[in-house]
Structure 1
Amino acid sequence: MKRTALTLAAACAALFATTVAQAATIKVSCSGVGQELEFCKGAADAWAKKTGNEVQIVTPPNDASERLALFQQVLSAGSDKIDVFQVDVVWPGLLGSHLLDLKPYTKGVEKEHFASFIGNNTNGAKLVAMPWFANAGLLFYRKDLLQKHGQKVPTTWDELSASAKKVQDAERAGGNDKMWGYVWQGRAYEGLTCNALEWVASFGGGSIVEPDGKVSVKNPKAAKALQTAASWVGAISPTAVLNYAEEESRGVFQAGNAVFMRNWPYAWSLAQGQDSVIKDKVGVAVLPKGGADGRNAATLGGEALAVSKYSKNAALAADLVMHMTSAAVQKDRAIRGSFNPTITALYKDPEIVKANPFMGELEGTFTSAVARPTTASGARYNQVSNQFWNATHEVLSGKAKPDEALSRLDQSLTKLSKGGKWN
C-alpha cells in the first residue's frame, strides 16, 4: 500500500511538472486608444485562465505610424519579443512576410467574417491576420445643441460649416468660451490620411491612387476638398486640431466643448458612459457629402490580430487569436465598447443593436466604406500615405495652396510608382 501511494504521488508530481513545463507566456500587443487596451486584456486574461497559460500585454505607441515603425523593427529583426500583433487594416500587405499563416487554425470560421476583411488580410495564399473589429469614420453631434439652436443634422460639408459656426457662436455668447464647432484628427499621421481621403472622396476627387495604379490626386475636386477643410481651422475648429489624434478630439467633444466630431465608433460607448457630461446628448450620422453631386464617404478602418512567424509558441498564439476574434468576444466588445464586429451575423443581434442603435442603421457605412489605396500601392503604401498626409497638413496649416501641394504630391507619387507600376 505504501509503495503504491508513493508511486501514485510520484506520477502526480511528474504529471504536474509536465503541465507546468507546457504552460507558456504569450506576449500580446494592444493599442491604448480608448478602451482597446481594457478589452484586449480582458479577453486575453480569460483565455489564459481557461488554458492555464500566461499572457503579457505589450502596449505600443498609440500613434499608428509610430506603432507600425516599431512592429517593422521587431519583425525585421526576427525577434520573438511579441507573439501576437494588433495590426491596422492597411498593414497585412506591409508585414505579411513576417506573419504566420492562420488557415490551419481557423477551422473555416473566417467564412463568417466580412469577405472584404478576410481578403484584405490574405497575403498570397496565406491568411496572415484575423479581423478583430471593423471601423469607419462617423459624424458625432450634440443633438441637444442642434435642437436648442434649430439646426438639422448636416448632409453636406457646407451645411456642417454653417451649423457649426451658428451653434459655436451662440454657445460662446451664452458663456461657454471653450466651445468649438467641429473637431477631427489633423495631426500629420495616418489618421489625417483617413480624414483627408473622406474629404476628397466626398467631393468626387478619387482615392489618391486608383486600382489600376494611376495617381489621381491632382484634380480640382480634390483641391476643393482640401481648401474646404483648411477653411475650418481657426474658424470652427481650433488651431490645435492640427495636432489632434483620436483621443485629443474625443477629449474636447466629451468635455462638452464641441458641436460636431469626426471619429471612429469606439467614441460612442465612452460618450455614453455614466461619468460622461454628454451622456444621452449625442447622435451619430454618416459623414457629409462634398455637395449636391458628392457622396457620403467614410474611410474603411479596423484592426486585426496576427501571429509572428518568429514566435516560439505559434500554435498557442494562434489559439489566443482565434479566441479573441470569436463571435462571443466580438459580441461582448460590441455591447460594452461599441466596437463594430467583423462577423456579419452579429449586426442582426438584438442585444448589440439595442446597445448601439447606429450599428443597425449605418451597417452600409461599414460594409461599403472607402478603402485606402493599399492594394494599388502595395508595399509602398506607407510612403504614399506619408506623402499624402504631409501635403494635406501643409494646406491645413496655410503653408501651401491646395493646387501647389497636390501638384507636388502628384509628381512625387508618380515617381514613386515608377510610371504606375507599384509592385
Structure 2
Amino acid sequence: MPHLLPSPSRPMLPLLKGGVGTLLLGGAILAIPQAQATEISIACGAGDASDYCPELARQWAEQTGNSVKVISTPNDTTEKLSLFQQLLSSRSSDIDVMMVDIVWPGLLDDHLLDLSEYLPEGATDDYFPALIDNNTIDGRLVAMPWYTDAGLLYYRKDLLEKYGYPAPETWQELTETASAVQAAEREAGNDDFWGFTFQGRAYEGLTCNALEWVASYGGGTLVDEEGEVTIDNPRAAAALDLAASWIGNIAPKGALNHTEEETRGIFQSGNALFLRNWPYVWSLSQEDGSEVVGKVGMAPLPHGPEGESKATLGGWNFAASRYSEHPELAADLVAYLTAAPQQKAHAVKMGRNPTIESLYQDEAVLASNPAMGDLYETLRHGVARPASVTGDAYARVSNAFFNIAHLVLAGDVAADQAVAQLSDELERIGRRGW
C-alpha cells in the first residue's frame, strides 16, 4: 500500500487532478479542479477562533483536489469522547478522521486504523518518543501526535529575587520557600497571598498532579508497562503525604476544589508564588490586565529526594476510523495535519506546542513564544498516564486514583493506607487483564 506522508520540506502534491469539486467548511463552498473528488469528514474542536484544524483541512483539500467536511464537536472532553464512542461502536462511516485526547488511544484502538500501514518506515522518528509510545497499542500506531502539553512550574521571579531564593528543584524546597515567602508577603500586607496553587479537585486534573508527585518521587506510574499495579510503595506514600501538608498551609483549603482556571486566577492576580499548570498559562499571564506581566518565570516541576522531575503529558492527536470508506485519504489527511510545516504554523499562529522535537530549535517558533525552548526538556522527559496499558479500564483507574488522592489531601485517609487501598482496587479492576 503506498504511503502518503507529505515531506516536511515541501508541500504535499495533489493526489487527483482535473474536474471540479467543492470544499465544505462552515457553509463556504470552494471550487477545486479535480478528476473525481472524494469527500471525507474530520471531527475537530468546537469551531472557535483557536481551532486551527479547519484551516489546515482547507489547505489539504486544495492540494489534493478532494473535499473535506469539518464537523464541530462539544467543548467538553467527556461529551466528545461519548460522541466518538457512539459513532465508532455503531461502525458509522460518518467521520473519517477525528481529534483524540492523549488518553483515548487505549479506549478507542479497536476502532482505529493502524496508521503504520500507511506511513513510510521511520515516519515517527522525529516525534517525542513518549507520545508515539502512548499512541501505539499492541504494536498498532492508532494516532499521530498533533500538539502536546506538559505540567510546568510557574513562579514569581521578582519575589524569589526579592527574598533571595532560587527556583526550587525539589518538592521540599518548594514547600520551604513557599512558606517563607508567603509569611513575608502577608506580613507586608497581602493577607490573600499563598505560597503554592495547584489543581486539587477530584477530577482528571488531580490525576495529572498526583502522578507528577508520585513519579517524581520514584514511586512509579500506578500501573507499569507490563500491566502490573505498582502504586503501593513507600515513595508514592511519601509524595502524597507531602502534598497533603500543603493544604491550609502554603495552599488554600479551597485547592480541594480548584481546577486549572481557578489556580491561574490566583496566580495571575498576584496572590501566589508558585503555580502548577499547563503551558497555555504563559501567554495569558503576559497579556494586558495581568498583574504579573514581566514577573513570571517557568521551570520544570520539582522532584522528590530520590527521583527526577516528571511532568504529566497532555495534548491531542489525530486518528482515522477503521470504518472510513476512504482509509488511504483519511490516513493522508492525518499525515498532513501532523507534519512539520503544519505543526510549525500551529505553533507560530496559535501558540500550540509541537510534537516534533526539531521545532523546538526553530527560529520562527521560538520568536513567536520564547517559552517554547524552555519546554523541550520537560516534554522530552514527560510521563504518560497509564491509559495505553489499561485500555478500556483507564477511566476507572483514573477515577480511583484521583478520588483516593483527594481523600489524602483532605486529611481523611493516611497516605500509606491510601496507596494500599488503591492498589487493591486497581488489582480488582485489572483482574481479568487490561
Counterpart mapping for 1:74-85 below 5 A: 74-80=87-93, 82-85=95-98
Deviation at 1:17, TM superposition (A): 7.3
Counterpart Cα distance in 2 of 1:329 and 1:274: 29
2:228 alignment partner in structure 1: 214
Question: Given the alignment of the two structures, is residue 340 of structure 1 paired with residue 340 of structure 2, yes or no?
Answer: no
Greater helix percent: which structure?
Answer: 1
Counterpart mapping for 1:270-419 below 5 A: 270-274=284-288, 276-291=290-305, 293-311=306-324, 314-418=327-431
Q: Secondary structure at 1:231's aligned position in 2?
A: helix
Deviation at 1:160, TM superposition (A): 1.2
2:15 alignment partner in structure 1: none
Among 201, 210, 219, which residue is 1:196 paired with?
Answer: 210
1:335-361 deviation line (CA, Å, top 9, x unaligned): 344432211221221232344444434
Counterpart Cα distance in 2 of 1:143 and 1:303: 31
2:261 alignment partner in structure 1: 247
Question: Given the alignment of the two structures, is residue 87 of structure 1 paired with residue 100 of structure 2, yes or no?
Answer: yes
Q: Secondary structure at 2:354's aligned position in 1?
A: coil
Deviation at 1:132, TM superposition (A): 0.6
1:127 alignment partner in structure 2: 141
Which amino acid counterpart does residue 376 of structure 2 have in structure 1? E
Which amino acid counterpart does residue 179 of structure 1 have in structure 2? F
Question: Given the alignment of the two structures, is residue 233 of structure 1 paired with residue 247 of structure 2, yes or no?
Answer: yes
1:354-410 deviation line (CA, Å, top 9, x unaligned): 444444345232122223233543443332222111111111122322222222111
Deviation at 1:153, TM superposition (A): 0.7
Deviation at 1:258, TM superposition (A): 2.3
Deviation at 1:196, TM superposition (A): 0.6
8 A Cα contact 2:357 2:376, kept in partner? no
Note closer, same or farther for the CA distance 1:37–1:359 as it changes in structure 2 (3 Å cut).
Answer: closer
Counterpart Cα distance in 1 of 2:135 and 2:333: 18
Note closer, same or farther for the CA distance 1:190–1:65 as it changes in structure 2 (3 Å cut).
Answer: farther
Q: Secondary structure at 1:38's aligned position in 2?
A: coil
2:156 alignment partner in structure 1: 142
Deviation at 1:299, TM superposition (A): 1.9
Counterpart Cα distance in 1 of 2:256 and 2:146: 29
Counterpart Cα distance in 1 of 2:119 and 2:280: 27
1:11 alignment partner in structure 2: none
8 A Cα contact 1:43 1:324, kept in partner? yes
Q: Secondary structure at 2:91's aligned position in 1?
A: coil
Counterpart Cα distance in 1 of 2:38 and 2:92: 21
Aligned residues: 404
Counterpart Cα distance in 1 of 2:284 and 2:69: 26
Which amino acid counterpart does residue 315 of structure 2 have in structure 1? G
8 A Cα contact 1:269 1:336, kept in partner? no
Which amino acid counterpart does residue 28 of structure 1 have in structure 2? A
Counterpart Cα distance in 2 of 1:37 and 1:80: 27
Please, what TM-score do these two structures have when normalized by structure 2?
0.81
1:43-90 deviation line (CA, Å, top 9, x unaligned): 34554666674543524344x555434432332233455443222223
1:165 alignment partner in structure 2: 179
Counterpart Cα distance in 1 of 2:166 and 2:187: 21
Note closer, same or farther for the CA distance 1:66–1:166 as it changes in structure 2 (3 Å cut).
Answer: farther
Please, what TM-score do these two structures have when normalized by structure 1?
0.83
Deviation at 1:312, TM superposition (A): 5.3
1:8 alignment partner in structure 2: none
8 A Cα contact 2:105 2:388, kept in partner? no
Deviation at 1:128, TM superposition (A): 1.6
2:111 alignment partner in structure 1: 98
Note closer, same or farther for the CA distance 1:170–1:49 as it changes in structure 2 (3 Å cut).
Answer: farther
Note closer, same or farther for the CA distance 1:37–1:236 as it changes in structure 2 (3 Å cut).
Answer: same
Mean alpha-carbon deviation: is it higher for 168-177 or for 147-156?
A: 168-177
Counterpart Cα distance in 1 of 2:120 and 2:367: 31
Deviation at 1:127, TM superposition (A): 2.6
Deviation at 1:139, TM superposition (A): 0.7
Q: Secondary structure at 2:228's aligned position in 1?
A: coil
Note closer, same or farther for the CA distance 1:275–1:327 as it changes in structure 2 (3 Å cut).
Answer: farther
Deviation at 1:40, TM superposition (A): 3.6
Among 15, 30, 44, which residue is 1:29 paired with?
Answer: 44
Counterpart Cα distance in 2 of 1:169 and 1:337: 39
Deviation at 1:326, TM superposition (A): 2.0
Note closer, same or farther for the CA distance 1:230–1:329 as it changes in structure 2 (3 Å cut).
Answer: same
